[in-house]
Amino acid sequence: MTDRNAAARLVDGTHVEVAVIGGGQAGLSLSRHLSERGIHHLVLERDSIGHDWRDRRWDAFTLVTPNWQCRLPGYPYDGDDPDGFMRRDEVMAWIRRYAESFDAPVVEGVLVTRLREVDHGGFEVVTDSGTITADQVVVATGGYHRPVLPPEASSIGGDIVQVHSADYRSPDALPAGGVLVVGSGQSGAQIAEDLFLAGRDVHLALGSAPRCARFYRGRDCIAWLSDMGVYEIPVQAQVGGLTKRESTNHYMTGRDGGRDIDFRAFARDGMHLYGRLTGGAGTDLTFSPTTEASLDHADSVMESIKNDIDRYIAREGVDAPLEERYRPVWRPEAEVTELDLVEAGITSIVWSAGYRSDYSWVQIGVFDGAGHPTHHRGVTATPGLFFLGLPWLHTWGSGRFEAIARDAEHLATAIVERSRREAGAVVSG
């Protein structure tokens, strides 16, 4: 791997067959395939390899997917707990070991500021360390770039400390007092759990995120879904088609060996639940009366997944123990729609409102009206420009370690085939 002190010397004026922008698991996976095919390429990383796992994860973070699903090209999980869940620092170390395993040509500390096509063919990649050219380019920066804060954040008054989930680190890093977590997707759910287990007074504004049981009928649900081929179904075949790319993942946790996240149980034990946040000014917030509806929806999705598993077990004749279905352990006696932060003793808010993609530096017309790249399995309408590592790039597994190898191999094949076509055109010309 290339150290950041050599960045300017290696980047400025360099020409490569392929420039890979982003040195996370997606960019490295493609790099492995390109290296095996003898394709001259560079991986440009603005920070350090796998830095998102360090910079955007809290201290107690664990993977939601089991370790056996962590398999990058030529590099399966190398630990001794395949059914466990790696913690934040373990994931980052594993990714760095992967890069070292094939001496990935990564230049760290290089920020790409502009990508454009050039008149004579190929691309110009402008960085803060100089400009390179490339025959083909793969954007592997993921789809989560800029943390989103809702409009209400700017209206909160008083001395309330506000952080986005990307900046949350631990319960001790927040001031003493109650904490309001806004959003119940994977990050919000796990952060609320982290705070609650630490003994904090937690208030949670629920969204529409579904949930999934951690284990059912003797196995991790992800193992059942993997055997059922759920992670391999193309996005075009999903209900809603390409709009599935905007869906929220199911919440569960890998903490302490993995378990369900049951907000009803948390509420029974003292967590305060609200519906969707609808407004705020000063220290007064309002919520929609949707607490029970949100809980019921999440539970219904969990139970529908169990139904699918039951059908699979019956169809395939699998010997699996029976298990009683979930019964709600708590229901709200009344919907709470107003909250005074000061009266409730709340001193901080964690906004788990997601991220917005930012491809403003890509000066090529391959985006839809919402700023998302348009592509088919990562291949855009601009010859030689590809995207990798996006949620639902091709399947549900695309946003996970589970399918990165498959997506990277597909793009590597497309890159090689285009190189051959271009070479053939030059020879025939």
Q: What is the pLDDT of residues 238-255, one digit of tens each?
A: 655 444 445 568 999 999
Query: Which residues lie below 8 Å from residue 204, measured CB to CB, with a gap of 6+?
Result: 180, 181, 182, 184, 188, 192, 263, 266, 271, 272, 273, 274
> Is the residue at 175 inside a domain?
yes
With a cut of 90, say whether residue 71 has pLDDT above it: yes
Instruction: Give the pLDDT mean for 92-107.
Output: 95
The verdict on 321 and 205 lying in the same domain is yes
The verdict on 301 and 409 lying in the same domain is no
List, for residues 151-205, the tens digit of each pLDDT value: 999 999 879 999 999 999 999 999 999 999 999 999 999 999 999 999 999 999 9
Q: Note the pLDDT of residue 47.
A: 93
The verdict on 216 and 123 lying in the same domain is no
The verdict on 43 and 164 lying in the same domain is no
Domain holding 53: CATH number? Answer: 3.50.50.60
The verdict on 323 and 227 lying in the same domain is yes
Q: Note the pLDDT of residue 245.
A: 47
> Is the residue at 377 inside a domain?
yes
The verdict on 226 and 326 lying in the same domain is yes
Q: Domain limits at 366?
A: 4-145+357-428
> Is the residue at 239 inside a domain?
yes
Domain boundary among 351, 369, 398: 351
The verdict on 178 and 300 lying in the same domain is yes
Contact yes or no for 394/377 (Cβ under 8 A): yes
Count the domains in the chain.
2
Which residue intervals of 347-400 are DSSP H helices? none
The verdict on 217 and 340 lying in the same domain is yes
Q: Which of 144, 217, 215, 147 is nearest to 182 (CA)?
A: 147
The verdict on 333 and 418 lying in the same domain is no
Domain boundary among 297, 328, 351: 351
Instruction: Give the pLDDT mean for 381-400.
Output: 88
Residue 236 vs residues 210, 352, 367, 377: alpha-carbon distances, Å: 21, 28, 18, 10
Domain boundary among 351, 368, 388: 351
Q: Note the pLDDT of residue 119.
A: 87
> Is the residue at 125 inside a domain?
yes
The verdict on 123 and 263 lying in the same domain is no
Question: What is this structure's pTM?
Answer: 0.92
